[in-house]
Amino acid sequence: MVNNKNFSQRLDEILKEYELSAAMFADRIHVGRATISHILSGRNKPSLDFVMKIVKTFPQVDLYWLLEGKGSFPKTEEITSPPPTLNTNTEKEAINTIISNTSQNTSSKKIKRIIIFMDDGTFESYETT
């Protein structure tokens, strides 16, 4: 669970790093200015959509640092190659391949759900049987 106070402190760090006011930040990530104000004050918790907009707009913001304070900001590691893409004919085949490969690496654990986040902020959720 995201701690509102800690999240708002990390959000404030992002604003300072990029030298942005709350209003400018809201405009950059395409959210209402009141949304930023409410999150910074601790009144509201950030939505998944809000968090994903930050990570997409500011690539130096690590998702786990933003949510839990783990890792560093700005990111210190460089990505040298793009992430692998799924090269199967259907989404179901791709999901089954991921489940199969992951199951081999997690001997006693079973995958329950896989969530794929799209670049437009939507997501697909797949449950195993």
Determine phi and psi for 18, rounding to 5 degrees. -95, 5
Torsion angle defined by CA atoms of residues 46, 47, 49 and 53, in that order, rounded to the nearest 10 degrees:
0
pLDDT of 10-55, one tens digit each?
A: 999 999 999 999 999 999 999 999 999 998 888 888 998 999 999 9
The CA-atom distances, in angstroms, between 87 and each of 10, 91, 98, 100, 120 are 37, 10, 12, 15, 21
pTM of the model: 0.57
Alpha helices in 18-45 (DSSP H): 22-29, 33-40
Classify strands 123-127 and 113-117 as parallel, antiparallel or unpaired: antiparallel
Peptide bond into 83 cis (omega under 30): no
Give the model's confidence band at 88: pLDDT under 50 very low, under 70 low, under 90 confident, else very high: very low
Give all domains of the chain, ordered by start, each with its CATH number: 4-68 (1.10.260.40), 91-127 (no CATH)
Are 14 and 58 in contact, with CB atoms under 8 Å apart?
Answer: yes
Q: pLDDT category, 106, cuts 50, 70, 90?
A: low
